[in-house]
Amino acid sequence: MLSFLLLLVAFPGKALATRESSMQLLQHKMVLSGPRELRLEKAEPLDWLHFPKCGSSLINALVHLPGVCPLLGDLTLDEELLGPCWLEVFGLDYCVKLCQEEKFSCPRNTSLPHHPMVNFSAQKGHLVGMFRDPDQRILSGYHDDFNNFAAVDYIDHLEDMISDPDLDMENCTASLRGLPKVPILEFAEGWKGGMTYQLVTEHPTTQTLDPMRPRMTQADAEEAARRVREGFAFVGITEEWDLSMCLLHKMFGGACKASDFENANPSYPGKSAELDYDTSELRGWHDDVDEVVYAAALDVFRQNLIAYNVSHETCSECYRSAGRASSFEESSRKHNLSSL
């Protein structure tokens, strides 16, 4: 006791830090066999259904969950580490080496950059994903000059790139860059119902980015929405990135990290998921198929925010440990949950 007091007098900050770290150690020990670990275990192997333009950066939050990819350590997957095609390179060359097979489903076929469901009844309960307002997702896809999804004859270029055995992963989609784009409404029709398509199509080699893929109906959207409600261990909302990352950790444990919040694939420098595109560009056109899926995702998300007591207030510790002290103020200015 005396020595503690002496320490307190001499190094007040240090004593506090010591006490805090032993508290953290204690909490850490309790957490090891706590509900978060069990929940994570139950969700494994995590199976990421990655819809284009909904946030590639989710990968960093997933691979850094406790025990998922132990050999990766603290490294952040991004362009700096693996080049412009970082996500494909990770999937092709590193995922199975660094991640535990029973904890994370590595992409089965990197020729399918946004693979669909493979077998819902087998994947049910393991699925994780980010969902985005469908019209925003489409506008983001259209304005993504790096991937140039809207290039004329996009699918032919994609297939050429994929079938080229010398595909230079360093240059990635370079051959698409600068090509002229189709008109925006033609692109929008091609991407309409895209989240639905990935959710309901169980064909192992379907190229979901093909604008000529089958059209989705309202019935498909209803089935896709059911899968979102019943099959996902984690549902995040791109527009609510910060709350989504905080929720992920409240559900599955692990500390929030700066890399959870890094936008690894902005459509243009400085673009963030919280900035909305001007939908007037779509002149009244609207994706009323994926709207059904997005509404289901919002429902699940909101319910989980309540169930796990997640709000910008209760996330302040998460934001702090990720070095985002100002996030609460920024986010609360732009959004609030009643406007979601």
Ligand X SMILES: *[C@@H]1O[C@H](CO)[C@@H](O)[C@H](O)[C@H]1NC(C)=O
The residues that touch ligand X, with contacts defined as CB under 6 A, are: 109, 111-112, 119, 121-122, 168, 170-171, 174, 204-205, 207, 309, 314, 336, 338-339
Shortest Å, Cβ 228 to ligand X: 19
Nearer to ligand X, 196 or 207 (CB): 207
φ, ψ of residue 165 in degrees (nearest 5): -65, -20
31 burial via Cβ count (<10 Å: 0-12, 13-18, 19+): middle
Nearer to ligand X, 27 or 309 (CB): 309
Shortest Å, Cβ 122 to ligand X: 3
Shortest Å, Cβ 84 to ligand X: 9
Nearest to 231 by CA among 304, 124, 130: 124
Nearer to ligand X, 130 or 172 (CB): 172
Tokens of 314: 């209760």
Nearer to ligand X, 188 or 247 (CB): 247
Shortest Å, Cβ 298 to ligand X: 14
Q: What is the largest CA-CA distance in the chain?
A: 77
Q: What is the rounded CA–CA span in Å between residue 208 and residue 197?
A: 7
Shortest Å, Cβ 330 to ligand X: 13
* Sign of the four-CA dihedral 60, 66, 67, 71: positive
Nearer to ligand X, 33 or 339 (CB): 339
Tokens of 307: 């169930």
